Structure 1
């Protein structure tokens, strides 16, 4: 069933799962990781949230920083790890991408979610990258923002790879999430220019 409060196609279970996870994880953050949030509050209405991507746990840190349920466009390789995990992330409303195909269906889903007031998370680098600028930024997030007239919100995450690296072991390391001022689509000529503005913001604000 659809949850009308957070956009088209958002599973009804997604909202209580997000809220429940937030209530559980947020009080534990000081004990797990020294966590700092900087920057602005997310504007009301739809948004395309665009973090850099260092670690498997980045979606958790971003969700806590923005304080609302969101649907991530993410590679379908996250599926198939465990049936219960698959159930959980499907209930949370992820939009899986088949990297071997043109993602027409996922993009339609993301567009519909934004057009009905939801929030979509996109990692412009397209994969985890241990160093900023290691992976070139793709223009899909800017395309979604311009197509729907939705603000694109840059987000910097620092320290998350040290907190959970490729070995998937949790370590107590400081995490900093910085939420930037929204980039408004009408101020950019095209998705390339908007993506370049995201890169410039990251160059200025990303510290790790």
Structure 2
């Protein structure tokens, strides 16, 4: 109920202020589980994508969004966003276990394989959580490209700008393999990232975005 109420407010507001262009809606299944694997350019990605899809979805976002600004935390919770402690391996696995429950219930789950916002607009190497999820649940992966959202709310700013952005969804991807195999998880993740890169047109960087941020 809270999700529906939040979306009734968010969706019209997003369309009115930013005139988003959404391509590939037909790739989102009408029912059943699906993993939406997206690039990550702005904190607003977690608002925009759920607001503009017809089906409800659960998302994952860093724990800091739930412990800082109260309005942001409340809105994240209302939109079904799940917190993750990126520095705690056991907490991250607990989040993935919760995501399995979401998918087994026939719902959609969104994840940012990069594990962090891009520091410079490029696409960075994906972490293997998305592969573990699809190999564990057999849920299809829908690659997603957020386009131009970094111009709506650039890093370090707090007031959104009125810039048009886009969302491009690709065809569902299905995989076979062993979720316990590091090689299979890496291969699946790299294939998902290649699909995201094809949709977004971003330059791909074969290293983790978190390592770039930590080195800055």
Interval containing the TM-score (normalised by the shorter chain): 0.7 to 0.9
Find 1:139's aligned residue among 128, 138, 151.
Answer: 128
The within-5 A match list for 1:94-133 is 94-102=81-89, 103-129=92-118, 130-133=120-123
Of residues 77, 80, 87, the one that matches 2:67 is 80
Q: Distance in 1 between matches of 2:15 and 2:99?
A: 33
When the two structures are superposed, what TM-score results if normalisation uses the length of structure 2?
Answer: 0.80
Cα deviation digits, residues 136-179 of structure 1 (max 9, x gap) = 21110121011001001110011111111221211111111001
**Runs of 4 or more consecutive aligned structure 1 residues displaced over 6 Å after TM superposition:** none
Distance 2:75 2:153 in 1: 20
**Structure 2 unpaired stretches of 5+:** 203-216
Q: Cα 1:41–1:141, aligned 2, differ >3 Å: closer, same or farther? A: same
Residue segments in structure 1 that go unaligned for 5+ positions in a row: 1-15
- Tell me whether 166-175 or 77-86 shows the greater mean CA deviation: 77-86
Post-superposition CA distance 1:74-93 (Å, at most 9, x none)? 22111211345434433443
| Distance in 2, Cα, partners of 1:71 & 1:123 | 12
Q: 1:185 to 1:31 in 2, by over 3 A?
A: same
Q: Who is 2:22 aligned against?
A: 37
Q: 2:169 aligns with which of 137, 154, 179?
A: 179
Q: Does 1:22 align with 2:7?
A: yes
> CA RMSD, aligned part only?
2.2
1:161 to 119, 144, 150: 150
- 1:191: Cα distance to partner? 2.3
- How many positions carry a matched residue from both structures? 192
CA distance in 2, matches of 1:100, 1:201: 27
TM-score (norm 1): 0.82
